[in-house]
Amino acid sequence: MPTSILKIALDLPLDRLFDYLSNGQQAHIGQRVLVPFGRQKLIGIVIAKASSSDLAAEKLKTVIQVFADELPIDAETLSLLKFSADYYQYPFGQALLSALPVRLRQIAPAVSRKQYAYHLTELGRLVDPATLPTRQLVLRRLMQALQTHNSLTELDLDAISTSARKLAKQLVTDGWLVSEQVPAIIKTLEVLMPAPPALNDEQSLAVARITQEVQIFKAWLLHGITGSGKTEVYMRLMQYVLESQQAQILVLVPEINLTPQLEARFRSRLTNFPLVSLHSNLSESERLHNWQLAQSGAAKIIIGTRLAIFTPLPQLKLIIIDEEHDSSYKQQDSMRYHARDVALVRAKRLNIPVVLGSATPSLESWHNAIANAQQTNKYHLLSLQQRAVSAAKLPHIECIDTTKVNLQHGLTPQLIAALKLRLARKEQSLLFINRRGYSPVLLCSACHWIAPCTRCSSRLVVHLGQRKLRCHHCGQEQKIPSQCPSCGNADLHPMGYGTQRLEQTLAELLPTARIARVDRDSTSRKNALVEILDQVHKQEIDILVGTQMLAKGHDFPNLTLVGVMDTDSALHSPDFRASERLFAQLMQVAGRAGRADKAGQVIIQTQFPEHALFNALRSQDYASYANALLLEREQVQFPPYVFTALLRAEANDFSLVQQFLRYAFEQARNLSNDVLVYDPVRPQMERLKGMERGHLLMQAASRVALQRLLKHLVSLLRAQATAAKVRWAIDVNPLEF
């Protein structure tokens, strides 16, 4: 009998494949198909072919349609997703389908956006680029390129400037150009790539070490202080890899906001290599289009956020993970994968190098690179300890004890004086406060009532601009009450500072200063952040007030002062990762000061100036602080010394959660002696979005033992009755508790 049974993965919470009869259309493994399922039609992916099925012949249904003109997903990508689904205890079909662009999950052939190429009209040919105004640089370059090249594709235009596509469309309207639809993306323009700067010794060594072993799997931890030129190292490696072979390179970044900046740097330096980005800010059609360019091998550089790790890349030869410590690499719902860990698996399977870059590596990575060098030396450490621009020194960091001075609206006299000095010198300042909104609580002065969220165990944040109270966990909003709901007192006031209040205070205190606020509220509009950053670069802003959105990656040459408002709560957080995270965050934010030739100063306001974390920060000594934290973790047996998994559960009714977790606890205890199973507890945030929550922590010295237990536990739980009434999930290597 011919192989007419197709085993198909569907987007269903069931960890198995589904058998269908072929409809006679040619279907490859990895091909997208449409199948009947009950009364619905579902999109599926062919995973295997067989000649027989366990199902009785009359029960087998037939595939409705094979989307034959799309490229099938290749075996490597399928197998990576299968591995991840198993490792993170998530149904394979769901993992697979949710890794695809939305358009590929829809019941229609995935037609890519039309592509255009541009050439000159008669009229356009009469224009001499040399006569065009020098101010209109993009126009000049575009017209110059068209003198020497017959036509330019959209990728060619991107290489000229990010605004060149728009300009080309305008020129079509003006009659200088005509556009023509082209079948697939092609790139014709070969331009002279700008000469890179000479590397310093540390950078050269890093590049040399990696290029020497660029044909094999190795995990390189590139530990470089902020401004040490890690990006320069990436670009050299990329150029080397792309010029020496048929290759694609995947660059992961933690946040969408960081892609435009990196994209611009890559485009201007690696001009001849088609680049696409993959992140959730793209429209569905752009995302599909970019994904298909990656899948076909046409795009050579792929910059993306965590989900991009699952993109099919037939010529993948190098993976770079920028800011590898960043927690946004971990997915916090559905399949709770960590993109860095998946990247390591992918690189190992492909036998290619992976470069993890950070100024403050995660303790997991640091441990892999340095601790017990003999046993766990899995990563190879490369250090950049100097700032790349020779004049740029590390900033001077000091802590001001807020209990010993008179605060003026939450600001120490030292910080105010430093801000004034920057204004006088026409330099820029950044105030870091990790709380958006006006103030974190609304308090009744008579009975000490605090406005709570009714759906979460949290307080409502005052947003004075909109005269609203808002929960930052569930989004619930209400008007600011005119009197206390508890005692009727009309004297309710905001307590503490958020970004909005700080912005307002500064405006009153320093009336001549031009202030911009950067937080999730002020940047929710598309391009808002880009516009603010642009203003900063044009020196139209004196003081930036912002949350951790500002801490990462941005390069402001004229910024010489960083003030850190109140981070003390993180010093005493019950979360064992809080100090690691705070240290990384403060190192990052401090790194924004004094990046060019001007000296930087960092002022930290705290009640605990002698805390070990601040001492380490003052001496900018990541290594000894990381080693000290690792020692603590080893003593109490926390990750990375043990492997953990969390069973998270939530329901409307807490007794259901309790019952479910109790059952899980007993089963888990019986399943293995090598795994420590803790009593079920409630997380710090007991209620979230109206759901009562609980969790069960499991921990083991061996990854394999933990994996074995989880596999059995999950199948028991799926079969369990209360499981249906409880929303539950397994979180392997959880970052948050």
Please give the residue ranges that form the binding site for ligand ADP (CB under 6 A). 197-200, 203, 224, 226-232, 388-389, 555
Shortest Cβ distance from residue 428 to ligand ADP (Å)? 16
Nearer to Zn ion, 477 or 540 (CB): 477
Per-residue tokens: 260: 């435009």
Extended strands (E) in 311-395: 316-321, 354-358, 379-384
* 262, 332 contact by CB (below 8 A): no
Measured from the Cβ of residue 406, the count of other Cβ atoms closer than 10 Å reads: 7
Nearer to Zn ion, 89 or 458 (CB): 458
Residue 619 is a binding residue for Zn ion (CB under 5 A): no
Q: How far apart are CA 395 and CA 397, in angstroms?
A: 6
Nearer to Zn ion, 268 or 486 (CB): 486
* 88, 707 contact by CB (below 8 A): no
User: Of Zn ion, ligand ADP, none, which one does residue 658 interact with (CB within 5 to 8 Å by kind)?
Assistant: none
Q: How far apart are CA 266 and CA 260, in angstroms?
A: 10
Nearer to ligand ADP, 196 or 475 (CB): 196
Shortest Cβ distance from residue 359 to ligand ADP (Å)? 7
Residue 446 is a binding residue for Zn ion (CB under 5 A): yes
Please give the single-letter amino acid code of residue 52.
S
Nearer to ligand ADP, 93 or 304 (CB): 304
* 398, 609 contact by CB (below 8 A): no
Q: How far apart are CA 461 and CA 443, in angstroms?
A: 11
Burial class (CB in 10 A: 0-12, 13-18, 19+), 571: middle
Shortest Cβ distance from residue 468 to ligand ADP (Å)? 38
With CB under 5 A as the contact rule, which of the stretches 243-251, 286-294, 436-444, 509-517 interacts with Zn ion? 436-444
* 66, 31 contact by CB (below 8 A): yes
Nearer to ligand ADP, 222 or 561 (CB): 222
User: Of Zn ion, ligand ADP, none, which one does residue 455 interact with (CB within 5 to 8 Å by kind)?
Assistant: Zn ion
With CB under 5 A as the contact rule, which of the stretches 48-56, 469-477, 606-614, 635-643 interacts with Zn ion? 469-477
Which residues fall within 8 angstroms of residue 109, CB to CB, at 6 or more apart? 67, 69, 70
User: Of ligand ADP, Zn ion, none, which one does residue 389 interact with (CB within 5 to 8 Å by kind)?
Assistant: ligand ADP
User: Of Zn ion, ligand ADP, none, which one does residue 620 interact with (CB within 5 to 8 Å by kind)?
Assistant: none
Shortest Cβ distance from residue 536 to Zn ion (Å)? 33
* 232, 203 contact by CB (below 8 A): yes
Per-residue tokens: 286: 């752009």
Please give the single-letter amino acid code of residue 114.
K
Nearer to Zn ion, 453 or 645 (CB): 453
Task: Pick the binder of Zn ion from 456, 696, 698, 717 (CB under 5 A).
Answer: 456
User: Of Zn ion, ligand ADP, none, which one does residue 228 interact with (CB within 5 to 8 Å by kind)?
Assistant: ligand ADP
Distances (CA, A) of 314 to 135, 163, 317, 482: 42, 30, 9, 62
Nearer to ligand ADP, 231 or 644 (CB): 231
User: Of ligand ADP, Zn ion, none, which one does residue 486 interact with (CB within 5 to 8 Å by kind)?
Assistant: Zn ion
Which residues fall within 8 angstroms of residue 561, CB to CB, at 6 or more apart? 418, 419, 421, 422, 427, 428, 429, 430, 593, 600, 601, 602, 603
User: Of ligand ADP, Zn ion, none, which one does residue 203 interact with (CB within 5 to 8 Å by kind)?
Assistant: ligand ADP
Please give the single-letter amino acid code of residue 118.
Y
User: Of Zn ion, ligand ADP, none, which one does residue 489 interact with (CB within 5 to 8 Å by kind)?
Assistant: Zn ion
DSSP for 641-697, written as a single string: SSEEEEEEEEESSHHHHHHHHHHHHHHHHHH-SSEEEPPPB--SS-EETTEEEEEEE
* 236, 397 contact by CB (below 8 A): no
Nearer to Zn ion, 359 or 456 (CB): 456
User: Of Zn ion, ligand ADP, none, which one does residue 200 interact with (CB within 5 to 8 Å by kind)?
Assistant: ligand ADP
Q: How far apart are CA 449 and CA 469, in angstroms?
A: 14
Q: How far apart are CA 305 and CA 150, in angstroms?
A: 36
With CB under 5 A as the contact rule, which of the stretches 13-21, 440-448, 512-520, 532-540 interacts with Zn ion? 440-448
Nearer to Zn ion, 484 or 713 (CB): 484
* 254, 552 contact by CB (below 8 A): yes
Task: Pick the binder of Zn ion from 37, 449, 576, 608 (CB under 5 A).
Answer: 449
User: Of Zn ion, ligand ADP, none, which one does residue 473 interact with (CB within 5 to 8 Å by kind)?
Assistant: Zn ion
User: Of ligand ADP, Zn ion, none, which one does residue 363 interact with (CB within 5 to 8 Å by kind)?
Assistant: none
Shortest Cβ distance from residue 548 to ligand ADP (Å)? 16
Shortest Cβ distance from residue 251 to ligand ADP (Å)? 12
Shortest Cβ distance from residue 423 to ligand ADP (Å)? 25
Residue 319 is a binding residue for Zn ion (CB under 5 A): no
Window 484 to 503, contacts with Zn ion (CB under 5 A): 484, 486-487, 489
Nearer to ligand ADP, 279 or 387 (CB): 387
* 599, 396 contact by CB (below 8 A): yes
Nearer to ligand ADP, 251 or 442 (CB): 251
Which parts of this chain interact with Zn ion (CB under 5 A)? 444, 446-447, 449, 453, 455-456, 471, 473-474, 476, 484, 486-487, 489
